[in-house]
Amino acid sequence: MNNFTRIISIAAISGISSIAIANTGEVIFNGVVSDTTCTLDVSQQGIAQADNTVTLDPITTAEFLASDTAYKATGFSLVATDAGSATCNLTGKGASVQWTGQLYVGHNILQNIATGGAANVGMQLLESDGTTPVTVNGSPSIIADASGASLDFNVGYAATDATAVTEGQVRSIANYSIVFN
């Protein structure tokens, strides 16, 4: 192919591609570079949960005395391990944990997604003290010392309307993102 034909081909392709890219947009890419890479597992009462499920004790409808208050809370941990399932070395590191999920409108309560489940009730995430609510879809929980490699939280049942809770299954899902710093 001679130089003239190549130039014409390039010009023709350039003209076509400028039409193809007439629409503009933005793509955001996020990433993190870290000197610590750990796997996180969910643990309840010190036992790793293979399916990342935390199970709460049953509750009766009569136990809900107020809305937006957690009841029958149970502890769970996000445990950092390395590839060999040994504790990940986080000495001198802190962590920020961002929780996201589907909330009931006007409440910091994860929606109940159980088919045919209990009405007016979901799950509320709590800090390690068992009383302070975690702000889902908001500011991250800050853990000053993550050197124990166990990030502790609690979860409890919570009503959107304590006088209207009905019987049934309760199942909620929360997603987390952790940055060790």
Q: How far apart are CA 110 and CA 121, in angstroms?
A: 9
Each residue of 23-53: b (16+ CB within 10 Å) or e? eeeeeeeeeeeeeeebebebbbeeeeeeeee
The closest of 65, 73, 66, 51 to 124, measured between CA atoms, is 73
Alpha-carbon gap, residue 152 to 135, rounded angstroms:
15
Q: 99-140 pLDDT, tens per residue?
A: 999 999 999 999 999 999 999 999 999 999 999 999 999 998
What would the CATH number be for the domain defined by 39-180? 2.60.40.1090
What does the mean pLDDT of the chain come to? Answer: 82
**What residues have CB less than 8 Å from 174, skipping those under 6 apart?**
99, 100, 101, 110, 123, 125, 136
Q: Among 22-36, 52-66, 67-81, which stretch is predicted with the lowest mean pLDDT?
A: 22-36
DSSP letter, residue 110: B
Higher-confidence residue: 178 or 64? Answer: 64
Q: In this predicted model, which residue has the larger pLDDT, 129 or 10?
A: 129
Q: What is the pLDDT of residues 26-62, one digit of tens each?
A: 666 666 666 556 778 888 888 787 788 999 999 999 9
Length of the chain, in residues? 181
Give the Å distances, CA to CA, from 141 to 106, 162, 173: 20, 27, 18
Average pLDDT over residues 69-96: 80
The model carries a pTM of 0.76
